[in-house]
Structure 1
Amino acid sequence: MAMGGEAHRYNRSMPTRRPTVSLDSHVPLYTQIKDVLRTGILDGRYPPMSRMPSESELQTMFDVSRITIRQALGDLQKEGLIFKVHGKGSFVSQPKAFQNVTSLQGFAEAMAESGHEIVNRVVQLRFVPAPADVAARLDVEEGSSVAEIHRVRLLNRSPVSYEVTFLPEAIGRRLKRADLATRDIFLMLENDCAVPLGHADLAIDAIAAASEIAAALDVKKGAPLLRIERLTHDAAGKPIDFEYLYFRGDTFQYRLRIDRERVIRSRHKQSKNN
Structure 2
Amino acid sequence: MQNNTPIYSQLEKLIKDKILSGEYKFGEAIPSERKLAETYGINRMTVRSAINNLENQGYIVKVHGKGNFVSSPKFKQSFVEGWGFTSLLRERGIEHKDKLIFSGVEEANYQLSKIFGVERRTPLFRIVRLRLGDDEPLRLEDTYVPYDLFPGIESIDYSVTSLYDVFQANGITLKEFRQVLSSYLIHDFKARLLDLEDDYPVYRVTCQTMDQSDRVVEYTVSLINPQKTIITTSLK
Query: How far apart are the structure 2 equivalents of 1:61 and 1:107?
Result: 36
Structure 1: give runs of 5+ residues left out of the alignment: 1-34, 63-71, 260-274
Q: Does 1:118 align with 2:107?
A: no
Find the partner of 2:205 among 210, 224, 228: 228
* SS of residue in 2 equivalent to 1:186: helix
Instruction: Give 2:131's match in structure 1, choosing from 150, 153, 163.
Output: 153
Secondary structure of 2:115's counterpart equals helix
Does the 8 Å CA contact 2:96/2:134 hold for their aligned counterparts?
Answer: yes
Unaligned 5+ residue runs, structure 2? 1-7, 38-47
Higher gyration radius (CA): 1
Distance of aligned partners of 1:119 and 1:61 in 2 relative to their CA distance in 1, 3 Å threshold: closer
SS at match of 1:176: helix
Cα distance, 1:144 vs structure 2: 2.0
Letter in 1 for 2:109: P
RMSD (CA atoms) = 3.2
- Partner Cα separation in structure 1 for residue 152 and residue 129 of structure 2: 17
State the alpha-carbon separation in 2 of the partners of residues 103 and 40 from structure 1.
Answer: 23
Question: 2:224: which partner in 1?
Answer: 247
| Length-normalised TM-score, structure 1 | 0.65
TM-score norm. by structure 2 comes to 0.74
- Are the aligned partners of 2:76 and 2:230 in contact in 1 as well (CA < 8 Å)? yes
How far does residue 251 in structure 1 lie from its aligned partner after superposition? 0.6
CA distance in 2, matches of 1:190, 1:61: 49
**Residue deviations 1:200-238 (CA, integer Å, cap 9, x gap):** 100011111131211111111111111110000111111
Greater than 3 Å deviation, 4+ residue runs: 38-46, 57-62, 88-91
Confirm whether residue 82 of structure 1 aligns to residue 55 of structure 2: no
Paired positions, count: 206
Q: Distance in 1 between matches of 2:94 and 2:36?
A: 36
Deviation track 1:33-80 (CA, whole Å, cap 9, x = no partner) reads xx9xx95995456724152279xx999999xxxxxxxxx9xx97x955
Deviation at 1:197, TM superposition (A): 1.2
Alpha-carbon distance change, 40 to 200 in structure 1, aligned in 2, over 3 angstroms: closer
Report the Cα distance in structure 2 between the residues aligned to 1:121 and 1:180, rounded to whole angstroms: 8
Alignment of 1:1-274 (within 5 A): 43-44=16-17, 47-52=24-29, 81-82=60-61, 91-171=69-149, 174-191=152-169, 193-259=170-236
For the 8 Å contact 1:161–1:245, the answer to whether it is kept is yes
Cα distance in 1 for partners of 2:225, 2:118 equals 31
Letter of the structure 1 residue corresponding to residue 61 of structure 2: I
Q: Which has the higher contact order (CA 8 A, sep 6+)?
A: 2
Q: Which has the larger displacement, 97-106 or 216-225? A: 97-106
- One-letter identity of the residue aligned with 2:91: E
